Structure 1
């Protein structure tokens, strides 16, 4: 038996109308904390309704998810109307009433669970405001919100920083005010009211033992005082200043040191406070600590510097020069020229002008006759007198003359051909020839000329100190080949230098065995600054410059303002710069200048040890040291 569903299905006509289901758009795949209906842009948003419901578990649920949302960039107050006002409710309750209930209960008993939940709601709400305030879109709304600054001022005025239960709330409040404190102006009618947060922040920085509170208070003060309209609220005996001086020696705590230096720079940037600080009892120690900050944070690396006396290098192979001789190609080219053109060309090839050199007139004529005499039957040559006269034509500075009965030509010398290979030097006639050549072939042709001049069937070898017995002409020719060098340059080890180091410039040496040893070489290892200095060092350097300017305020002593130093903190030459401050007598100002100079004289040696890789910043240090 079939089921009713099966029966209906079997009898249903095939033409039964079935409407098509409407295609729904795909839902956005979101994770917990980013559900769209949590952040609907309507006044009836569930988050806002939960916060205002008064039901603790609903409030806890809403705050828990808002804490997640406030960390992401998609969370904007303007998209959820009423959310900001709902978040302000619980923190305002705590700074107006909640802190009293907590204080009264804690005296004898533990607080009730409901009171603990309310306090937790206040902290969570404030944390959401703090997180969201870091995004620009939310910052604009919080700056102009009428409940932002009153919450900060009431929290600072009513909550005691010495109570541990208030520390977390105060930390969140100070973090919350960072985004808009630079825009808040304490007008004169608000100075002595609760709406002036600066005295309370100074009190927290000066009296609290909580490191986090001290850092947050100094940072908040620094932001408040960056507004020029709030600068007159700085006092020379500010508790925040005393706290900064107290914690300045803690250079290992970089976060605390940064907050201290930033506040100290803000305090000293006020001209009156800078002059007053020169009279502070801890001013000398502060100057020394600021220099110590530079020394502790400078980045250095070792560098080796070689120090040695001047040394002179000479080649291992002595350079030599020989007189230029006409080549066969030169002779064939100029022998056909008509006189006196041939004589002029020959002189330019064979001689050069040289002021104090001289040659005999006979030498001139002999060289000319040797070059062209063999061809005089075909190409006539000049007489000796005409050759000597042509010297003055080719070389105007040369002059034929008679000196001590000797006929000479002064102002010319043989043209020299330099060479660097002494191997191709003729040592015939017991090394008396000493004629050098550029190639082995030229040397061999020259030696054959010596052999042609020998007479007799047998002759001894006259090569330098050769002691071989007399040989026939043919055998002597073969024997001379043993004295000739190889045409290839001898190979030297790659580690061997091709020069000699000497301690003097004189070369060649008369006695090489007495050559002095090479100069002594010393390697020094020095420390060199590298990289850009950290931000704390830059702030400390600015503080030093401000105090230095106040101590050396005279125009002839103070550093100048220029473009390279961005105009800070040099001295301008305007007449107003030298006027005394109205609030400080001339006697006190002179006393401060004297104390400041004494303090800087005491740290001069420390400042000489400061090394900065940045050249303009190092110029600051050098300039101050030079003045000291």
Structure 2
């Protein structure tokens, strides 16, 4: 079959041969067999598409557990500012403008109280009325309203990722926690997946790392070194790992990585101090890059929680043979090239079986010249100077084109739509058919 296709390709490259083929052979049956070869030995493939991400949650007046919780260091950095500037900065860090969102005033007030109540003895907080008024002063368009018998603030919503005072994103601790160990007021106010996630925001990755080792893994830090009775000196090593005493960790506890869905466990091949040190280094892989080329690498970094398994799409590919450059090859390519040659050859034919058809073909030639004269337009282009002939009959070549290719038109479109390897060649076939009146 391959040799036959090679012969037909060479034979149909000459327009006169196509005319002979159309008149003296069963060309309709030939193109039918050629169309059957367009998907010869095709392998079905269902491409997988990225799972569509769910739309952003709408924070309405019923939402009470979506406010970001800032770590102690970040909160203490805000204490240097007096009210109402302090609450304005906190609001901009944890909330953003959204004209379609609203939240109850009591939820907003409770989140402010829960954040700064610990420091209220030394840093006075705003009273409720002044705080609500300051929300409108901080965010343009935010306003206190009464909706459905509830006092709400309309025009803002909690951020999913808290920012610092300069607008830089803070780093969230995604360590899994036990809801029974989380204070109930934190569960009802802050964004922590109902107590199943730590959810605290820190200024950078190293701060999160230290927080995990100290608070979640409960690894003690090494005691300061004293020399000859002098004042305690900090550890000489600049490595943060060296600051923790892994040998003093509680051996009765179970240690593993609980960052999001990470399954990492301490290997049984190592003793506890070594295993904990390796786990500590592993935790760094979940945190933002803080190296000298961090910004460049961050462009290609993805949050592991946001990576979704691809899902099958509704499209089915029928892939045929391709060469090492992924170009079409084999019988499907040969069939497409012969079909293209036949379509181009029929388009150039002016033969007809009777005088009426011949006259119609001549009229078509006058209205749309296709000769090689330099003043003639290229094939497939309209001649703006041609005389309109609304009553002219269909030329014989167009009738022949339809007679040959109409029975396989559906196959051509199907193969073009479902065979990405061959689509460019089939596009050329369909263009030649269209240009010839088919």
Q: Which has the higher contact order (CA 8 A, sep 6+)?
A: 2
Q: How high is the TM-score relative to the length of structure 2?
A: 0.45
Which one has the bigger helix percentage?
1
